[in-house]
Structure 1
């Protein structure tokens, strides 16, 4: 499936079907036990990802690719970064804009559109939390290859790891019609992706950082580029 087709499905889901769910999940509002584990997992993953970037980001340009409702964006801006916060879903961007603290607004530029749009320019670092989990290996190779010249430092992102549970969910999910479902995440094997990048001539190396498992939330943090 092409990047454009998958991106369109993700946009439709988050902008029309799941807006209220994500607004609640990413707030302090009470949620069910299952969603509470997802919230805890996402909080932990956000901390892991931000831990891969310098504490002082004063004057540093950072892309938050798939910024969602803005939690990472605001923490990056608090460190002094000039953040370009991008999400494919305009309704989600509206929530992020409404939540942005007044003292950070001058450091954050919100953009509803393609997180990989080259028109956004170049960046010192980039983060993408659970926004690349819907793409197959070939598409990920193309996306990462395009980032080599665009991102000078670290690109920290997450993928769904190829675990027995996630593979079972992936296979079962493919049996159902897609019209009323969320986009299907595609489990990845880091070694396989690294090898595919090497074969494609990508010089930047991929490194595993940490896997976070919290109930139904399972995600692998990876680092592309930058010093170990």
Structure 2
């Protein structure tokens, strides 16, 4: 069962992405003109998406993938183009609506199934690979590890995810962000120290069958994210 803190933050994210930030997110994830700051975020997300895709086989025919926190579906679409059967889930109905509209390509060799819901829902089924790109960065390390444990129980090959790495600059930005009135700020990013996260993962019995196989940090201006791969031993 998700913890109370996970459920609370998930509710904040649903409100933020479905109401407050819809237009900004739609522009950021398209080729529309954006500010210099958002351009660096867009470039960072594109680089991270390419990195995670490089950790998967080029030919994904016959593989089932969960895009956990799919947003507007860019990763899902690329995986389907490689032949994967993709279940893409997000808490925001509006973002899922955008994803469906952007993925209207009848010539895809794979299959795309966009759903509104919780990425930890066991009813989504089993998968060869689970990808959670920038969808766990708003959670504390304890909730991240518990979420990974639940996802790993339904993952047969690898689990790819990103966290916000704990750096002096990101920690300062995180602290300053908390000074703004709650209604005027996005759900906080929770900086995580990679070493501490690895130790938590090692102590989690449900994650014992997996090991950290790869780690890569992507930094592009105002985008900073750390990717990790948990693979079956």
The TM tier, using the shorter chain, reads over 0.9
Match of 1:23 in 2: 26
State yes or no: 1:210 paired with 2:216. Answer: yes
Which of 74, 80, 83 in structure 2 is aligned with 1:77? Answer: 80
* Displacement after TM superposition at 1:32 (Å): 1.0
Unaligned runs of 5+ in 1: none
Alignment match, 2:11: 8
1:64-120: CA deviation from partner (whole Å, max 9, x where unpaired):
111111111111000000000111100000000001123239700010111111110
CA distance change for structure 1 residues 175 and 207 in 2, over 3 Å: closer, same or farther? Answer: farther
CA distance in 1, matches of 2:145, 2:93: 27
From 134, 138, 143, the counterpart of 2:142: 138
CA RMSD, Structure 1 to Structure 2 (Å): 1.5
- 3-state SS of the aligned residue for 1:160? strand
Distance 1:13 1:181 in 2: 9
The correspondence for 2:175, drawn from 158, 171, 174, is: 171
Partner Cα separation in structure 2 for residue 149 and residue 187 of structure 1: 25
Choose which of 111, 115, 129 in structure 2 pairs with 1:125.
129
Q: Aligned ranges for residues 147-158 of structure 1 at < 5 Å?
A: 147-158=151-162
Is 1:225 paired with 2:231?
Answer: yes
Deviations along 1:34-60, one digit per CA (max 9) or x if unpaired, are 111111111100000101100010011
Q: CA deviation at 1:137?
A: 1.1
Q: Is the 8 A contact 2:83 2:108 kept in 1?
A: no
* TM-aligned CA deviation for residue 208 of structure 1: 4.4
Asked if the contact 1:208/1:220 (under 8 Å) is kept, the reply is: no
Aligned residue-pair number: 227
Q: 1: CA distance between counterparts of 2:109 and 2:69? A: 18
Q: What's the TM-score once normalised by structure 2's chain length?
A: 0.93
In 2, are the aligned partners of 1:57 and 1:81 still within 8 Å (CA)? yes
User: What's the counterpart of residue 45 of structure 2?
Assistant: 42
Contact 2:82 / 2:110 at 8 angstroms: preserved in 1? no
CA positional deviation for 1:126: 1.1
